[in-house]
Protein backbone atom coordinates (compact mmCIF):
# COMPACT_ATOMS: atom_id res chain seq x y z
CA UNK A 1 0.00 0.00 0.00
CA UNK A 2 1.39 3.33 -1.03
CA UNK A 3 2.10 5.95 1.59
CA UNK A 4 0.77 9.48 1.51
CA UNK A 5 3.97 10.85 -0.05
CA UNK A 6 3.89 8.27 -2.84
CA UNK A 7 0.21 8.92 -3.51
CA UNK A 8 0.72 12.68 -3.77
CA UNK A 9 3.77 12.57 -6.03
CA UNK A 10 2.45 9.66 -8.08
CA UNK A 11 -0.90 11.36 -8.60
CA UNK A 12 0.75 14.67 -9.49
CA UNK A 13 3.00 13.23 -12.21
CA UNK A 14 0.18 11.03 -13.54
CA UNK A 15 -2.28 13.94 -13.78
CA UNK A 16 0.37 16.08 -15.50
CA UNK A 17 1.03 13.36 -18.07
CA UNK A 18 -2.72 12.85 -18.55
CA UNK A 19 -3.19 16.58 -19.28
CA UNK A 20 -0.43 16.39 -21.88
CA UNK A 21 -1.73 13.10 -23.34
CA UNK A 22 1.61 11.47 -22.48
CA UNK A 23 0.48 8.63 -20.21
CA UNK A 24 2.03 5.87 -22.35
CA UNK A 25 5.36 7.73 -22.51
CA UNK A 26 5.24 8.22 -18.73
CA UNK A 27 4.59 4.52 -18.23
CA UNK A 28 7.65 3.57 -20.30
CA UNK A 29 9.85 6.12 -18.52
CA UNK A 30 8.73 5.04 -15.04
CA UNK A 31 9.30 1.35 -15.86
CA UNK A 32 12.84 2.15 -17.05
CA UNK A 33 13.57 4.25 -13.95
CA UNK A 34 12.09 1.58 -11.68
CA UNK A 35 14.38 -1.04 -13.21
CA UNK A 36 17.35 1.26 -12.75
CA UNK A 37 16.31 1.85 -9.15
CA UNK A 38 15.87 -1.89 -8.51
CA UNK A 39 19.33 -2.64 -9.87
CA UNK A 40 20.59 -0.40 -7.03
CA UNK A 41 22.47 1.94 -9.38
CA UNK A 42 20.17 4.88 -8.79
CA UNK A 43 19.34 4.13 -5.16
CA UNK A 44 23.00 3.71 -4.16
CA UNK A 45 23.91 6.97 -5.87
CA UNK A 46 21.05 8.94 -4.32
CA UNK A 47 21.66 7.48 -0.87
CA UNK A 48 25.41 8.00 -0.84
CA UNK A 49 26.25 10.33 2.07
CA UNK A 50 29.50 11.65 0.55
CA UNK A 51 27.80 12.98 -2.58
CA UNK A 52 26.36 16.46 -2.09
CA UNK A 53 22.75 17.27 -2.89
CA UNK A 54 23.82 19.67 -5.65
CA UNK A 55 26.04 17.01 -7.22
CA UNK A 56 23.21 14.44 -7.13
CA UNK A 57 20.87 16.88 -8.86
CA UNK A 58 23.46 17.81 -11.51
CA UNK A 59 24.13 14.17 -12.31
CA UNK A 60 20.40 13.39 -12.49
CA UNK A 61 19.75 16.30 -14.81
CA UNK A 62 22.74 15.57 -17.01
CA UNK A 63 22.21 11.82 -17.30
CA UNK A 64 18.40 11.76 -17.61
CA UNK A 65 17.62 14.98 -19.51
CA UNK A 66 17.59 13.22 -22.89
CA UNK A 67 15.88 10.02 -21.76
CA UNK A 68 12.87 11.12 -19.69
CA UNK A 69 10.35 13.94 -19.87
CA UNK A 70 11.06 17.31 -18.34
CA UNK A 71 8.14 16.80 -15.93
CA UNK A 72 9.39 13.45 -14.63
CA UNK A 73 12.91 14.82 -14.29
CA UNK A 74 11.47 17.76 -12.34
CA UNK A 75 9.69 15.33 -10.03
CA UNK A 76 12.92 13.40 -9.45
CA UNK A 77 14.82 16.58 -8.66
CA UNK A 78 12.06 17.71 -6.27
CA UNK A 79 12.02 14.35 -4.50
CA UNK A 80 15.82 14.41 -4.11
CA UNK A 81 15.78 18.02 -2.86
CA UNK A 82 13.18 17.07 -0.25
CA UNK A 83 15.33 14.11 0.83
CA UNK A 84 12.65 11.60 -0.11
CA UNK A 85 14.63 9.52 -2.63
CA UNK A 86 13.87 6.43 -0.52
CA UNK A 87 10.19 6.89 -1.50
CA UNK A 88 10.94 6.69 -5.23
CA UNK A 89 10.05 3.01 -5.59
CA UNK A 90 6.67 3.60 -3.93
CA UNK A 91 6.11 6.70 -6.09
CA UNK A 92 6.89 4.65 -9.21
CA UNK A 93 4.49 1.89 -8.08
CA UNK A 94 1.72 4.39 -7.35
CA UNK A 95 2.21 6.01 -10.76
CA UNK A 96 2.08 2.64 -12.53
CA UNK A 97 -1.04 1.67 -10.56
CA UNK A 98 -2.77 4.87 -11.67
CA UNK A 99 -1.75 4.19 -15.28
CA UNK A 100 -3.15 0.64 -14.98
CA UNK A 101 -6.48 2.01 -13.74
CA UNK A 102 -6.51 4.52 -16.62
CA UNK A 103 -6.02 1.70 -19.13
CA UNK A 104 -8.56 -0.64 -17.50
CA UNK A 105 -5.99 -3.00 -16.03
CA UNK A 106 -6.03 -4.52 -12.55
CA UNK A 107 -3.52 -6.66 -10.64
CA UNK A 108 -4.74 -10.04 -9.42
CA UNK A 109 -2.64 -11.74 -6.76
CA UNK A 110 -3.26 -15.46 -7.18
CA UNK A 111 -1.95 -17.91 -4.58
CA UNK A 112 -2.12 -21.67 -5.06
CA UNK A 113 -0.73 -24.68 -3.20
CA UNK A 114 1.08 -25.93 -6.33
CA UNK A 115 2.34 -24.34 -9.52
CA UNK A 116 -0.60 -23.82 -11.89
CA UNK A 117 -0.49 -25.16 -15.44
CA UNK A 118 -0.69 -22.75 -18.37
CA UNK A 119 -4.25 -23.79 -19.22
CA UNK A 120 -5.35 -23.32 -15.59
CA UNK A 121 -3.78 -19.85 -15.52
CA UNK A 122 -5.49 -18.96 -18.77
CA UNK A 123 -8.88 -20.13 -17.48
CA UNK A 124 -8.49 -18.18 -14.22
CA UNK A 125 -7.46 -14.99 -16.05
CA UNK A 126 -10.37 -15.34 -18.49
CA UNK A 127 -12.88 -15.80 -15.65
CA UNK A 128 -11.48 -12.89 -13.63
CA UNK A 129 -11.48 -10.68 -16.70
CA UNK A 130 -15.14 -11.54 -17.36
CA UNK A 131 -16.07 -10.83 -13.72
CA UNK A 132 -14.24 -7.50 -13.47
CA UNK A 133 -14.54 -6.27 -17.07
CA UNK A 134 -10.87 -5.36 -16.83
CA UNK A 135 -7.58 -6.58 -18.22
CA UNK A 136 -6.02 -8.83 -15.58
CA UNK A 137 -2.35 -8.53 -14.65
CA UNK A 138 -1.75 -11.83 -12.84
CA UNK A 139 0.83 -12.13 -10.07
CA UNK A 140 1.22 -15.77 -9.08
CA UNK A 141 2.50 -17.16 -5.81
CA UNK A 142 2.89 -20.75 -4.65
CA UNK A 143 1.91 -21.21 -1.00
CA UNK A 144 2.01 -24.88 0.09
CA UNK A 145 0.24 -24.01 3.36
CA UNK A 146 -3.01 -23.59 1.37
CA UNK A 147 -3.08 -27.41 0.92
CA UNK A 148 -5.29 -27.07 -2.18
CA UNK A 149 -7.41 -24.45 -3.90
CA UNK A 150 -6.78 -20.77 -4.58
CA UNK A 151 -6.70 -17.43 -2.83
CA UNK A 152 -7.28 -14.49 -5.17
CA UNK A 153 -6.89 -10.83 -4.21
CA UNK A 154 -7.91 -7.98 -6.48
CA UNK A 155 -7.66 -4.60 -4.79
CA UNK A 156 -9.32 -4.93 -1.40
CA UNK A 157 -11.39 -7.99 -2.38
CA UNK A 158 -10.22 -11.45 -1.38
CA UNK A 159 -11.69 -14.77 -2.46
CA UNK A 160 -10.35 -17.64 -0.36
CA UNK A 161 -11.29 -21.01 -1.83
CA UNK A 162 -8.42 -22.93 -0.27
CA UNK A 163 -8.58 -25.94 2.03
CA UNK A 164 -6.73 -23.87 4.64
CA UNK A 165 -9.42 -21.17 4.40
CA UNK A 166 -12.25 -23.70 4.66
CA UNK A 167 -10.60 -25.36 7.67
CA UNK A 168 -10.21 -21.97 9.35
CA UNK A 169 -13.91 -21.19 8.74
CA UNK A 170 -14.99 -24.57 10.12
CA UNK A 171 -12.78 -24.06 13.16
CA UNK A 172 -14.40 -20.67 13.88
CA UNK A 173 -17.87 -22.18 13.49
CA UNK A 174 -17.03 -25.05 15.84
CA UNK A 175 -15.62 -22.69 18.46
CA UNK A 176 -18.75 -20.53 18.24
CA UNK A 177 -21.04 -23.53 18.77
CA UNK A 178 -22.19 -23.97 22.37
CA UNK A 179 -22.52 -27.45 23.76
CA UNK A 180 -25.14 -28.03 26.46
pLDDT (tens digit per residue) in 12-31:
999 999 999 999 999 999 99
Which one is the CATH code of 4-101: 1.10.520.20, 3.40.50.800, 3.40.50.720, 1.10.287.3510? Answer: 1.10.520.20
Domain ranges of the chain: 4-101, 104-176
CA distances from 152 to 24, 65, 85, 106, 136 (A): 28, 41, 33, 12, 12
Closest-CA residue to 14 (of 97, 83, 85): 97
Summarised one tens digit per residue, pLDDT across range 57-112 is: 998 899 888 999 999 999 999 999 998 988 999 999 999 999 999 999 999 999 99
Alpha carbons 108 and 141: distance in angstroms, whole number: 11
User: How many C-beta neighbours within 10 Å does residue 56 have?
Assistant: 19
Residue 115: DSSP 8-state: P
Amino acid sequence: MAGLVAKRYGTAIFELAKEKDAVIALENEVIALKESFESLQLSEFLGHPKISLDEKIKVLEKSLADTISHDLLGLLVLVVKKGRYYDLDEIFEETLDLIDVEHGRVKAYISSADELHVDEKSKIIHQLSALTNKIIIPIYEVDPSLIAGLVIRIGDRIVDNSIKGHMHSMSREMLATKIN
